[in-house]
Amino acid sequence: MANVAVIGAQWGDEGKGKIVDWLASRADMVVRFQGGHNAGHTLVVGDSTYKLSLLPSGLVRGTPSVIGNGVVLDPWALRDEIARLGAQGVVATPDTLRIADTCALILPFHRDLDALREDASGAGKIGTTRRGIGPAYEDKVGRRAIRVCDLAHLDDLGAQLDRLTAHHDALRAGFGEPPIDRARLLSDLREIAGFVLSFAKPVWRDLNAARAGGKRILFEGAQGVLLDNDHGTYPFVTSSNTVAGAAAAGSGIGPSGVGFVLGIAKAYTTRVGSGPFPTELHDDVGQGLGQRGHEFGTVTGRKRRCGWFDAVLVRQSAAVGGITGIALTKIDVLDGMNSVKICTGYRLRGETLDYFPAHAADQAQVEPVYETMEGWQGTTAGARSWADLPAQAIKYIRRIEELIACPVALVSTSPERADTILVRDPFAD
């Protein structure tokens, strides 16, 4: 049986939480492999709604869950999220949650720097969540990060703190901020260390043992391919790699262990924050998509920008992201529309393109080329088989498959777990 990696095929917020939760019932382990608590996954289980940011979605199922080394970890946000879920009856213990001992930590001054930079950027704002994700990744790459394993050796952090504060104090001075209070930082870390260390493990050992034992592993990505630091709409991207290749590097399992790659895509397109968006709608149709789809960010609460499905971008995501099959979500939001459009190409200065150009200036100028299809008046909401779908909705799905050159493996027809049409079983490949 294959392992499965779930990644976003658009700009995040595609409905990965529900799909991961649905797949987690058949997995033996769920792994978060990149990002931080800037991610947002909403799970609807009966009358209960669970909002996750850092914790793997498998916890709600009771499936053993792992936070991999590719994640940057805010220890205080972790404690708060565990407490919040605990109040809803979902209890995280060292048996159900394991954290890679090599995770880099997000510290208070990372959040400070994130906000200071964004506020100073004016029209150049990227639209970060101001949670310190980018600065924490910078410190990781710059080899000055404090990691989970360092929490067991706080008395030996002198040289590491020297490197860290030398870097950050210079940046803080440029913004008119005082230097880092090292004594307070160490005090805060001592207070949280025991809590975090109770979950810390060399998780690569657990994952490779699970793989050797024939266990099914589900890799859970955050954000989406279009926010990938290399392949996304740079600089309006996240600070990590969101493609399937990151599942191997960010968890400590070899690339051959990743298995089936399931890309999640909405039946239309949304984006939170700044950056190019060729099919964005500024009219009543766009407003209607946002209202019917309840398009507000799980983490930030910000209103999402809405537009038509962009087959060019999803085809590109499938290629660079290593996607094997697509899970199409929120098709019910299109119910009742007289017509629907799909972007099939772009025009740029008189030239027709079948890909999204790399430079931000070109990205801002492309004009979408649309194909218009007849809508459907029947409902897809709650459908659990092809037979439950209106004929035009099936035609829309089939046309998307053709345009993105990737098969649809799942169709989600509501936020409820069971309202899912299984076309191709990812775990069977």
Strand 72-73, strand 104-105: pairing: parallel
Could you confirm whether 181 is annotated as catalytic?
Answer: no
CA-to-CA distance for 261 and 277, rounded, in angstroms?
Answer: 25
Burial class of 98 by CB neighbour count within 10 A (0 to 12, 13 to 18, 19+): buried
CA-to-CA distance for 99 and 142, rounded, in angstroms?
Answer: 22
Catalytic residue among 21, 28, 37, 41: 41
Reference 219, options 176, 171, 253, 265; nearest CA is: 253
Handedness of CA 422, 424, 426, 427 (dihedral sign): positive
CA angle at 283 for the pair 281 and 289, rounded to the nearest 5°: 65
Could you confirm whether 13 is annotated as catalytic?
Answer: yes
**Cis? peptide before 235, omega within 30° of 0:** yes
CA-to-CA distance for 230 and 228, rounded, in angstroms?
Answer: 5
**Three-state DSSP state, 222:** coil
Reference 336, options 309, 374, 387, 307; nearest CA is: 374
Residues with a catalytic annotation lie at 13, 41
